[in-house]
Amino acid sequence: MLIAAFPAGPWGTNCYVAATGAGSECVVIDPGKDAADGVAQVVREHRLKPVAVLITHGHVDHMWCVAPVAGTYDATAWIHPRDRHLLADPMQGMSRETTQMLLGGKHEFAEPDDVRELTDLQALELAGLTFVVDHTPGHTEGSVTFRTPYGESNGLADVSELLFSGDLLFAGSIGRTDLPGGDHPTMLRSLRDKVLPLADDIVVLPGHGEQTSIGRERATNPFLRDLIETDDAGTVTRGL
């Protein structure tokens, strides 16, 4: 399996390109601002053909180049329906600071020609890979993560899956919830119901910053530790 990653744009958003190997079809995940050139470089270097663009959520730092990348390679864009409106109108999901930074520039956004909607627990078969979708609202209403098997096909028995976590989970932290569509209790519920049940050996590839693992975050991330301690105390009700 081939995973290429690079931080793009002023927000340092991690863009990922996933394929079964060189010379094959591939999937692009979260092409943010200034990511198109990086994607093109990876595609040329490994002789790849993008067939899909997966979007963890609709914030502009993760989807700025979705339309250009999808259009260049005639690829399908996938996004959760609760965030689909942000493809054409990302201002609805921005902070005041980001909006002010972009005002004055001539930025036009539109949906790619082929957009399909994601559902919770959906299994996508793309470019010879399988991606399981988990709807994880909290950072935005339509935030999702993508899990794909990794270990056996790569001879690494100690890594069972890769988790593209978007802005749900970072090394040592979690996504902010103070932007439009964000909600902290919902974020905690997503972490509790979708992250804590995962195996420790899963490698987390976040939207920003360095990679980590579920085991590491379970042991050291203060937000996850608080959830575990609260659950152990019996004061959290599942499915609240």
pLDDT at 146: 98
Q: Does a structural domain hold residue 64?
A: yes
CA 139 to CA 197: how far, in whole Å? 19
* Mean pLDDT calculated for residue range 97-101: 59
Query: How many domains, the chain?
Result: 1
CA 19 to CA 148: how far, in whole Å? 11
* Mean pLDDT calculated for residue range 219-230: 93
Task: Tell me how far CA of residue 78 lies from CA of 32, 130, 154, in angstroms.
Answer: 14, 14, 26
Of 55, 6, 46, the C-alpha closest to 26 is 46
pLDDT at residue 234 is higher than 90: no
pLDDT at residue 170 is higher than 50: yes
* Mean pLDDT calculated for residue range 13-17: 98
Give residue for tokens 């659950």. Answer: 231
Q: Does a structural domain hold residue 239?
A: no
Name the pLDDT band for 65 (thresholds 50, 70, 90): very high
- Beta bridge pairs of residue 2: 19
| Stated pTM of the model | 0.89
Task: Tell me how far CA of residue 100 lies from CA of 94, 104, 224, in angstroms.
Answer: 10, 8, 34
Query: In Å, how far from its chain's centre is CA 160?
Result: 18
Domain that holds residue 125: 2-232
Give residue for tokens 């890769």. Answer: 162
Q: Kindly give the pairing relationship between strand 203-206 and strand 161-166.
A: parallel
Q: What is the pLDDT of residues 206-218, one digit of tens each?
A: 999 999 999 999 9
The DSSP code sequence of 53-102 is EE-S---HHHHTTHHHHHHHHTPEEEE-TTTTHHHH-GGGG--HHHHHHH
Pick from 6-10, 48-52, 102-106: least confident: 102-106
* Mean pLDDT calculated for residue range 96-105: 56
Q: What is the pLDDT of residues 67-79, one digit of tens each?
A: 999 999 999 999 9
3-state secondary structure of 153: helix
Task: Tell me how far CA of residue 42 lies from CA of 21, 47, 92, 127, 141, in angstroms.
Answer: 12, 8, 31, 16, 31
Q: Does a structural domain hold residue 238?
A: no
pLDDT at residue 103 is higher than 80: no
pLDDT higher for 155 or 29?
29
Task: Give kind and range of the element (H or E) at residue 13.
Answer: strand 13-19
* Angle between helical axes of 66-73 and 36-46 (0-180°, round to 10): 30
Q: Does a structural domain hold residue 79?
A: yes
Task: Tell me how far CA of residue 119 lies from CA of 9, 51, 111, 136, 200, in angstroms.
Answer: 29, 19, 19, 11, 25
Q: Does a structural domain hold residue 61?
A: yes
DSSP state of 154: G
Query: In Å, how far from its chain's centre is CA 146?
Result: 7
pLDDT at 193: 96
Q: Does a structural domain hold residue 237?
A: no
Name the pLDDT band for 24 (thresholds 50, 70, 90): very high
pLDDT at 237: 36
Q: Does a structural domain hold residue 210?
A: yes
Q: Does a structural domain hold residue 155?
A: yes
CATH number at residue 188: 3.60.15.10
Name the pLDDT band for 230 (thresholds 50, 70, 90): confident
